[in-house]
Structure formats: C-alpha cells, structure tokens
Amino acid sequence: MTGMISLPRTRLAVKGLQLFWTLLAVWYEHVVFIYHVGRCVWPDSDIAPTKASARPTHVLLVADPQILDHRSYPGRAPSLTYISQLLVDLNLRKSWRAALRTRPDVVVFLGDMMDGGRFSMSDAEYEEYFQRFQSIFPLDQGIPRYFIPGNHDTGLGISDHFSKKAGARYESHFGPLNSHVTISNHTIIFLDATSLVEEDLQRLGQGNTYRDWPPVPGGSVEFVQQFSKSGNQDPIMLFTHIPLSRPDGASCGPSRERGTIRRGAGFGYQNTLGKATSEFLLSVLRPSVVFSGDDHDYCEYTHSLDNAGMSIRAREVTVKSMSMAMGIRRPGFQLLSLVPPHSSQGRFSHADSLCLLPDQLGIYLATYIPFLVLSLFIIFSANIHRICSRRKGQRRTALSLATSPSSTPLSGVLRSRRPIDSDEWLQYPSETDADILPRPTSSLSTKAPRPMYSQTFVLFGRRRRITIGTESLASLFRSVFSCCGNQDVPKSRGFAAGVLYDVRDVAVFPLAIFGAFSWWMFR
C-alpha cells in the first residue's frame, strides 16, 4: 500500500496545510460566531411565569456599533483607513447575523450608530452613510426597531466640524430625540442624553437647580417633566446613551474587561451625566432599571438615592459595544426579557443577560498570524528537504555511473578492430562459442498480478466478475490526492519557486473561503 500513495513530502505538507487552513477559515470566519451566540440564552427562567400564555418579550440591546468612515482615523493613511473600515464592517455583519439567531421581538440601539454622523457633510454623503448602516444591520420589517441619539450621532458641545443639521438628520432617519413606548406593560423611555448634558451646562452656568430651572422648549428636561405628569402606572425602564453619575472607582462587576467608568469630558464627549442630573432622573422617573451605552465596555452598578424620606434604588447596565474597533477585545450585546408585571407571579417582570461575541482582534493576532508563521516554516522546511534530496540523488547517480564497468566480454568482441583473416569469416562458431552471449537476467512472467479484490456474481443470467487490482487502486488514490494542485513538483523548480508555488496552493483555500463569506455578508 505504501507504493500507491507515494506523494513527495512537500506535497504531503501542502495537502495537510490546505486541509488545516480550510477548517481554520470555516471555523473562525463563520462557525465561531454561531457557537458563541448559541451559548447565550434569554433570561426567561428568572421571570418565567407559571402561566404559559404570558410569553416573555425578547428585546435585543445593541450599543455603539459606530460604523467607521474616512474621518474615523485622521492619522492613518487612506489605504489603511479603508482596510480598517472593511474589516470592521465585515465583523459587524457577522456579529449581527449571529445575534439575529436569537430571534428577538424588539431591537433597541443605544446610540452612536455612525461614527461620523455629527460631522459636516453633504446630504448625499449622509444618505449613503445611513444606507451603509442599514445594509450592515438588516432587520425584518415585522420587528420593531428603536434608536436613541449618541454624541457621535448629533454631537455634543460646539465645534466648527459638527454639522448644524445633525439633529434634524438624526430625526429624519432614526426617529425622535426623546420618546417612550410600552412593551409588555413596561414603559421604556428613550432619552436624548447629549442635549441633556448641554442643557445641564446652561443650568450650571446660571446657577439654578432643577426645581427653579425653566426647561428648554422641546428639550430633554421638559420631556422628563411632562412624562412625570402623565400618571404612568407601569414599571419604567430608562434608556440613555450616557451613563448616570457614580463615585469614581465604583466597581463595574466581573464582566468588565478593565478599569471602571470615571467622570471626564473632552472634545465631543462626556463620560457620565452630572450628579444633579442623575439624581433628577432617578427621583422624577424612578426607573426599575437603567440601560446605557457610550463606554463601550460592560458595567453593572446599582444607584441608591434618598429622596423625601424614600429610598430609590436602580440597577444600571452599561451595554458592551458590538464593534471590534471600540477598544475592547470581546464585543457583545444584551438580552432583555420582559413579561407583564401582573403575570410574573410575584417574581421580577424583567431580566437581562450579557452575550459575548468572539475576540476578532485576537483571531487575527493570536491565531492567524502564529499559524501563518508556522505554515511558512513547514513550507520552507519541506522545500529544503526537497532540494537536499534532489542533490543527493544527483550525486548518487553520478557516482553509480563513474563506478559502473565500461565493457562486457561481448562488447569487447563486437567492438574489436583488430584485422582478421578472411578464413575466419568462414569459421562458424561452435556450440561452446555460444557462451559468449550473456544469459537474460529476467524473463516475462506469464502469471497475472494477484488482484486485491475480486467478486463473482450473476447478473441477467450471466456470471460476471469485478476485479480491483493494485494499479487501479493506486490510480484512484493518485486522483484523490492530486485533486487540488500538482501532485509532483518539477525537478527543475528551485527553492524560491517551490516556496512560492506551495504558498499559493495553500493560500487559495482560506482566501477563497474568506472571499465567499465576505461576499455572502456584503450582498
């Protein structure tokens, strides 16, 4: 059997690497996203009512996708910025398709949908930017989708780079700045935290408290005050892009990658709402839970407030960004389950859980690059062995030719040029002279090679036999092993050419898979 699959070591290395990289590309470009999301479950068990009729409503929370544009990395070369944009878009598409496998009933985006939505640009460019966002996050028309504005959507503060149309563009493409909806007998408030920060700065500048502050018409403070007078009886859930205030150094829980949320502000951003603003929201709205974004990493913190002799406690969850470009290694999203309070049988009417996505940057840096280096080492080693084996074979052939006898008794007689008498032509060789001719070293065998498999059966009244010989089986194996790439490397091919051809043969498989999945995601 060894003679049937006698592939050179170089070809065996190439075939093995082809199979390895094929499996690697399929796993890390597609299956790993399904695997991670498949481990995430809706937290229905924490709220599941005894009545089967009250099915939980599943709300998918997505924070800070922040799709990139040419302004995202001003210090990078345009070509690198374009490549970064393509890779991040591809990662978001894969993550979103995997997230949709959870089959949500409602989707909420917690702000910063587009990284450069606040900047000055033409209407046509903004429309193209928005359509790109839509293509990355397609959703069935039957699934409600809600948005809240982030500082990258409408801007925060004053800058010549920010568009005066940012707020109006947001409202025409994503929806109102402040709004509220009812889902499963829970009132969800979508708050415009960026305009709230700007109004808070005006209030502080005039030295007023929220009690004596005349709210800006159509602003976030006015929206909150009007809602508080509506007589709402359902549990309230507050959705804000910017997290609420908390003490510096407050723990974010074990699910955070590093650090904590601290107070701070800069060009176009503010890490948390002000302390007075946070107390205003908690005391007026009294939310049962708060969901925020902006920080990109996960954080879980419980706010406590004593107001007019009443203790107010609200748990806040800062949702992870779904993008690989936001400074975290494990992007993610939040799963929120809701049931009407009257059907929760004394248990909580809402529960949420974190779902983590694959470490895309780690896949590139800790998986693809090390295995690429290892594959190149294997290809180099196999080609070195091929060159050395070829040279040894050449030396062995030259040595065998140099040491082989240059004549035989018959050749001496036939090539003799000595003069002979004419009488010698008349002398016939005797029987003993026939010994001059060498005896044959081998003879044709009349026996057929023994087949490896033979079976006799009767078909249509005639006896028939199927026989598979060694040569047939060897031909089958050769066709299988030579299905991709050449089976034999030309002997004249040098080291550099051999390496390049082997790299090509190995790379064509993962690149084709990567291209196929990319085409599928971008179509």
Q: Where are the domains of the chain?
A: 7-39+359-390+489-523, 42-358
d(CA 194, CA 4): 73
- CA 94, 96, 100, 101 dihedral sign is positive
Percent of the chain with pLDDT over 90: 62
Q: Does the structure show a pLDDT above 50 at 450? A: yes
Percentage helix, strand, coil, to 5, in the chain? 45, 15, 40
Three-state DSSP at 337 gives strand
At 479 the pLDDT is 47
Supply the pLDDT for residue 42.
96
DSSP 367: I
Q: Would you state the pLDDT for residue 3?
A: 41
Contacts of 297 (CB under 8 A, 6+ apart): 252, 256, 257, 258, 259, 318, 320, 321, 327, 328
The residue assigned the tokens 């498999």 is 453
Which of 91-95, 118-122, 230-234 comes out lowest in average pLDDT?
230-234
Amino acid identity at 246: R
Q: Are strands 289-292 and 310-318 parallel, antiparallel or unpaired?
A: parallel
The predicted pLDDT at position 48 comes to 66
Cα-Cα-Cα-Cα dihedral sign, residues 496, 502, 506, 507: positive
Its pTM stands at 0.79
Q: Where are the beta strands (DSSP E) in 13-131?
A: 57-62, 106-109
Joined together, the tokens standing for residue 75 give 């210090």
> CATH for 42-358?
3.60.21.10
pLDDT digits (tens, 9 = 90+) for 325-345: 999 999 999 999 999 987 666
Q: What is the pLDDT of residue 449?
A: 54
> For the chain, what is the mean pLDDT?
84
The pLDDT tens digits for 38-97 are 999 999 988 866 555 568 999 999 999 999 999 999 889 999 999 999 999 999 999 999
Distance CA 211, CA 234 (A): 25
Measured CA distances, 10 to 239, 376, 378, 476 (Å) = 60, 12, 9, 20
Q: What is the pLDDT of residue 24?
A: 94
Average of pLDDT values for 245-251? 93
Residue 474 has pLDDT above 60, yes or no: no
Contacts by residues 494-498 (CB-CB < 8 Å, ≥ 24 positions apart): 494/387, 495/383, 495/384, 495/387, 498/10, 498/383, 498/386, 498/387
Give the pLDDT of residue 386: 82
CA 66, 67, 72, 77 dihedral sign is positive
Does residue 262 surpass a pLDDT of 90? yes
- What does the pLDDT average to over 309-322? 93
According to DSSP, the residues that pair with 485 across neighbouring strands are none
